[in-house]
């Protein structure tokens, strides 16, 4: 399981290193998931989802006919939805934290090291190189840091005004495990999907329109907000606002900038505010 962060590092390496790191990433992916099968953390049925992702990757290749590419993207979207919601059988994701209350007024938190959801990010990084538009190190760092600082100010203000978090500085046990999981298995996957695939794909699709970039950014941000609907309407609002900030980071600095902005905000939330959220008043 702990090979998965290294897989993500190699697959997300800058495009200039792709010829070397791409194959290292593929090798680690095979080893990591092969080990998971051998140790029983993946069941035989998980191979169905992995095989279907392979079919989708074959279908979306630029060499295929247009209708085959469309079918491949539809298959991927269906698989991405099912994987993100943990609907597909064969994935035995180990629980590594919780349920635990970091503060007395917080909703209990549980964390799993997922094998299913990261497949979305791995597939995107391998099958669709265009989700990572090339940017110089200085460019993506500046865009990512700017997006992080602006989103901390805006999202914290919105979250406090909505009453979903409070000031709660802390240093929970297993923080290092949370950081690795959140960066490589959560944030990278979500940004590859919502910014790289949705925002980047919609920008390409709407390329003939004068306002393709802002339209694609807003659609991806709203969908990102809706993906947080389990937390209630407040988290849909927060997710949409954050999605705009991550989308701007992606627009000016690429996928690395969006990941930096997203992960930076998550870190501030985890260490300095109620995590994951305040309990409803009646349950305190």
Angle of CA points 213, 217, 223, to nearest 5° = 150
pLDDT digits (tens, 9 = 90+) for 220-254: 999 999 999 999 999 999 999 999 999 999 999 99
36: confidence class by pLDDT, cuts 50, 70, 90: confident
Given pLDDT bands bounded at 50, 70 and 90, which one contains residue 22? low
What is the pLDDT at residue 69?
96
What is the SS3 assignment for 202?
helix
The model's confidence at residue 95, banded by pLDDT at 50, 70 and 90, is very high
Count helices and strands in the chain by DSSP H and E runs: 11, 2
- Confidence (pLDDT) at 236: 98
Among all chains, which residue has been given the structure tokens 């997006």? 147
* Cβ atoms of residues 78 and 53 within 8 Å: no
Whether 196 shows a pLDDT value over 60: the answer reads yes
pLDDT above 70 coverage of the chain, percent = 89
Res. 211 pLDDT band, cuts 50 70 90: confident
The verdict on pTM exceeding 0.85 is: yes
Quick one: pLDDT at residue 24? 66
Residue 19 pLDDT exceeds 90? no
Whether 223 and 252 have beta carbons less than 8 Å apart is answered as no
Q: What is the mean pLDDT of residues 183-208?
A: 94
Mean pLDDT value across the chain:
90
Q: Which residue has the higher pLDDT, 32 or 108?
A: 108
| C-alpha to C-alpha distance for 17 and 13, rounded to whole angstroms | 6
Three-class SS of residue 203? helix
Is 90 exceeded by the pLDDT of residue 43? Answer: yes
- pLDDT of 3 reads 56
Query: Which pLDDT belongs to residue 148?
Result: 97
What value does the mean pLDDT take over residues 206-211? 84
Residue 141's pLDDT is 95
* Structure confidence at residue 56 as a pLDDT band (50, 70, 90): very high
Whether residue 261 has pLDDT greater than 90: yes
pLDDT per position as a tens digit, 114-129: 999 999 999 999 899 8
**Per-residue confidence (pLDDT) for residue 39, from 0 to 100:** 87
Give the pLDDT confidence of 140-174 residue by residue, as tens digits.
999 999 999 999 999 999 999 999 999 999 999 89
pLDDT over threshold 70, residue 7? no
The dihedral of CA 187, 137, 26, 57: what is its sign?
A: positive
Q: Are 90 and 49 in contact (CB under 8 A)?
A: yes
Q: What average pLDDT does the segment 42-70 reach?
A: 96
pLDDT at 4: 60
């Amino acid at each position: 399981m702990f090979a998965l962060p290294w897989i993500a590092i190699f697959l997300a390496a800058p495009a200039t290193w792709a010829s070397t790191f791409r194959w290292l990433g593929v090798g680690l992916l095979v080893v990591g998931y092969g080990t998971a099968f051998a140790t029983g953390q993946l069941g035989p049925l998980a191979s169905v989802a992995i095989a279907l992702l392979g079919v989708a990757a074959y279908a979306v290749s630029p060499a295929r006919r247009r209708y085959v590419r469309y079918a491949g993207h539809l298959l991927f979207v269906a698989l991405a939805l099912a994987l993100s919601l943990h609907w597909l059988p064969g994935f035995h994701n180990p629980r590594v934290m919780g349920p635990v209350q970091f503060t007395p007024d917080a909703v209990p938190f549980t964390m799993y090291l997922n094998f299913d959801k990261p497949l979305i990010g791995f597939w995107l990084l391998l099958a669709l190189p265009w989700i990572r538009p090339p940017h110089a190190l200085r460019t993506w760092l500046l865009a990512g840091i700017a997006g992080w600082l602006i989103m901390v100010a805006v999202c914290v203000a919105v979250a406090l005004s909505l009453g979903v978090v409070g000031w709660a500085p802390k240093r929970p046990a297993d923080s290092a495990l949370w950081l690795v999981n959140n960066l490589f298995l959560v944030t990278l996957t979500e940004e590859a999907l919502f910014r790289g695939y949705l925002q980047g794909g919609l920008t390409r699709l709407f390329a003939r329109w004068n306002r393709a970039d802002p339209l694609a950014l807003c659609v991806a941000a709203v969908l990102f907000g809706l993906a947080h609907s389990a937390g209630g309407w407040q988290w849909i609002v927060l997710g949409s606002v954050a999605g705009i900030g991550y989308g701007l980071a992606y627009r000016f600095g690429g996928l690395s900038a969006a990941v930096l902005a997203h992960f930076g905000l998550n870190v501030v939330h985890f260490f300095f505010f109620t995590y994951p959220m305040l309990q409803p008043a009646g349950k305190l």
